[in-house]
C-alpha cells in the first residue's frame, strides 16, 4: 500500500529558483549581490573550516547580539534561520491550521503560497495597484478573519514599496489577533525617506514580525542565513518549532563578519543605485515598460506580440549568455525580472535588449 501524503500537499508546485548559468554565461536570475560578499565574511567562512566537527551554537547567540547591536534592537527577540525562507516556513508551522486564511498581495513572493498550502490553509491574494501593494485592498481581503498577512516591503518580483505610514495603517486596520509578517529581504536597498524603519513596527504593535536576510545586501545567499525580529511570545514559539542547530557554524561566522563590514554594505548600495538607474532609464529608452524598483533588480514588461513577447526575449538573452528570470508563476507572463549585475553585465543586457527590440 502506497503511503499517502497529507491532503493538499501534492497540489503544491515546488518553488523553482532562478535558472543557473551555463559556463561562460552571466546569471542575472536570482537577485544575488553583484559584488559577491564581504571579503571579511569570506575569510571568516574559510577560518570556520577548522571547526567543522563542532556543533554550532544552537541559538546563534553571538550573531543575534551582533544583529541587535547593529540594528538597535533586543537580541533576545531575534531568531536566526537558514535564510528568511525557513523562518517564513516556521511561522506557518507554528500558527496555521487547516482551513485558516492567509493573505498576500497579488504579486507577493511565491513562498507565502507554499507556507499556506503546507499547512492546509487557503491563500488569498489582494489586488495590487500599478504593481504596488494596495493597503485598502489588503484590508478588504483580510477583513473576514485572516490568520496571517504576508507583505514584502519592498516586494519581489516587482521591486515596489509602500511607505511606513501605510504599513502602520495596515497593522492598525487588521484584527488584533491577525499576525502581520513584514518581509524585508531587500530593506537595506531602500533609501526613500518615507520607508522608515520596519523593525520599529515590532516594538509599536503586537502580533507583528519582520524578517530579514543575509542573501541580498550581504551576498551570503549560498550559506542560507536570515533572521526574524518579533514579540517575545512569538519568538519563544518559533524557537520551539525550529531545529536545534538550524543555522550552521560557517554561516554564523560569515554572518558575524558581514554584519560588521558596513563598508561593503555601503559599496553594495552605491553600486546598486548607479546601475539600477542605468538599467531603468536605458531599457525604457528602448520603448519597454520598467516598473519603478528600489531593489537590486528591474521588472521589464514586453508586448504580447509574437516574437516580441517576454518568452522570446528570454530566449534571445539566453542565446547571448544572459540568464534572467521569467515570472509567469507570479501571474506576469509578459515580464522578465533582471538582476543588477556587474558593470559590463549591465551594459550587455541593454545592448542585447536593444538588438532584440530592433531585430
Q: What is the pLDDT of residues 105-144, one digit of tens each?
A: 999 999 999 999 999 999 999 999 999 999 999 999 999 8
Provide the pLDDT for residue 59: 95
Closest CA to 345 of 295, 265, 285, 271: 271
Residues 6 or more apart whose Cβ sits within 8 Å of residue 95: 147, 148, 179, 237
Provide the percentage of residues in the chain whose pLDDT is more than 90. Answer: 91
Q: What is the pLDDT of residues 210-225, one digit of tens each?
A: 999 999 999 999 999 9
Band of residue 6 on the pLDDT scale cut at 50, 70, 90: confident
Q: CA-CA distance, 224 to 276, in Å (whole number)?
A: 25
Average pLDDT, rounded, for the chain:
96
CATH for 10-36+263-358 (3.40.50.10860, 2.60.40.10, 3.90.1150.10, 3.30.930.10): 3.90.1150.10
Q: CA-CA distance, 328 to 16, in Å (whole number)?
A: 11
pLDDT at 9 over 80: no
Provide the percentage of residues in the chain whose pLDDT is more than 70. Answer: 100
pTM reported for the whole predicted model: 0.95
Band of residue 240 on the pLDDT scale cut at 50, 70, 90: very high
SS3 for 151? Answer: strand
CATH for 39-260 (1.10.3470.10, 3.40.640.10, 3.40.190.10, 3.40.47.10): 3.40.640.10
Q: CA-CA distance, 255 to 344, in Å (whole number)?
A: 29
pLDDT at 12 over 80: no
pLDDT at 282 over 90: yes
Q: Report angle CA 277, 280, 16 to the nearest 5 degrees.
A: 110
Cis peptide before 154 (omega within 30 of 0): yes
Provide the pLDDT for residue 11: 76
Q: What is the pLDDT of residues 317-340, one digit of tens each?
A: 999 999 999 999 999 999 999 999
Q: What is the mean pLDDT of residues 239-246?
A: 96
Q: Report angle CA 29, 246, 46 to the nearest 5 degrees.
A: 70
pLDDT at 231 over 80: yes
Query: Do the beta carbons of residue 88 and residue 209 sit within 8 Å?
Result: no
Q: What is the pLDDT of residues 139-160, one digit of tens each?
A: 999 998 999 999 999 999 999 9
Q: What is the mean pLDDT of residues 222-241?
A: 98
Tell me the HSE value of 279 on the side-chain side, using a 13 A CA sphere: 31
CATH 3.90.1150.10 residue ranges for the chain? 10-36+263-358
Instruction: State residue 273 phi and psi, 5-degree precision.
Output: -60, -40
SS3 for 193? Answer: helix
Q: What is the pLDDT of residues 15-39, one digit of tens each?
A: 777 777 777 789 999 999 999 999 9
Provide the pLDDT for residue 13: 77
Provide the pLDDT for residue 97: 96
Q: What is the mean pLDDT of residues 170-178?
A: 96
Band of residue 14 on the pLDDT scale cut at 50, 70, 90: confident
Band of residue 315 on the pLDDT scale cut at 50, 70, 90: very high
Amino acid at each position: 500500500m502506497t503511503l499517502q501524503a497529507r491532503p493538499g500537499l501534492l497540489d503544491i508546485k515546488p518553488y523553482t529558483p532562478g535558472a543557473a548559468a551555463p559556463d561562460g554565461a552571466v546569471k542575472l536570475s536570482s537577485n544575488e549581490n553583484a559584488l559577491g560578499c564581504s571579503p571579511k565574511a569570506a575569510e571568516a567562512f574559510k577560518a570556520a573550516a577548522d571547526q567543522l566537527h563542532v556543533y554550532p551554537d544552537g541559538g546563534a547567540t553571538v550573531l543575534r547580539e551582533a544583529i541587535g547591536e547593529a540594528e538597535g534592537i533586543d537580541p533576545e527577540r531575534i531568531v536566526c534561520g537558514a535564510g528568511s525562507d525557513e523562518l517564513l516556513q516556521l511561522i506557518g508551522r507554528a500558527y496555521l491550521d487547516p482551513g485558516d486564511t492567509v493573505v498576500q498581495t497579488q504579486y507577493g513572493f511565491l513562498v507565502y503560497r507554499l507556507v499556506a498550502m503546507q499547512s492546509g490553509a487557503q491563500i488569498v491574494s489582494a489586488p495590487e495597484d500599478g504593481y504596488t501593494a494596495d493597503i485598502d485592498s489588503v484590508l478588504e481581503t483580510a477583513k473576514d478573519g485572516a490568520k496571517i498577512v504576508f507583505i514584502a516591503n519592498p516586494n519581489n518580483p516587482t521591486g515596489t514599496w509602500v511607505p511606513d505610514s501605510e504599513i502602520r495603517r495596515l497593522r492598525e486596520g487588521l484584527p488584533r489577533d491577525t499576525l502581520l509578517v513584514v518581509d524585508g529581504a531587500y530593506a537595506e536597498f531602500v533609501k526613500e525617506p518615507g520607508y522608515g524603519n520596519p523593525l520599529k513596527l515590532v516594538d509599536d504593535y503586537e502580533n507583528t514580525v519582520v524578517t530579514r536576510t543575509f542573501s541580498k545586501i550581504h551576498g551570503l545567499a549560498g550559506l542560507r542565513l536570515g533572521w526574524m525580529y518579533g514579540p517575545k511570545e512569538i519568538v519563544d514559539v518559533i524557537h520551539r518549532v525550529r531545529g536545534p542547530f538550524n543555522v550552521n557554524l560557517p554561516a554564523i561566522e560569515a554572518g558575524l563578519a558581514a554584519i560588521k563590514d558596513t563598508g561593503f554594505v555601503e559599496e553594495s548600495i552605491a553600486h546598486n543605485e548607479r546601475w539600477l538607474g542605468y538599467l531603468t532609464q536605458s531599457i525604457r529608452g528602448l520603448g519597454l515598460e520598467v516598473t519603478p524598483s528600489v531593489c537590486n533588480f528591474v521588472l521589464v514588461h514586453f508586448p504580447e506580440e509574437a516574437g516580441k513577447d517576454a518568452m522570446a526575449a528570454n530566449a534571445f538573452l539566453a542565446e547571448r549568455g544572459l540568464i534572467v528570470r521569467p515570472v509567469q508563476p507570479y501571474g506576469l507572463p509578459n515580464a522578465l525580472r533582471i538582476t543588477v549585475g556587474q558593470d559590463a553585465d549591465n551594459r550587455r543586457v541593454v545592448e542585447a535588449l536593444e538588438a532584440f527590440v530592433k531585430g
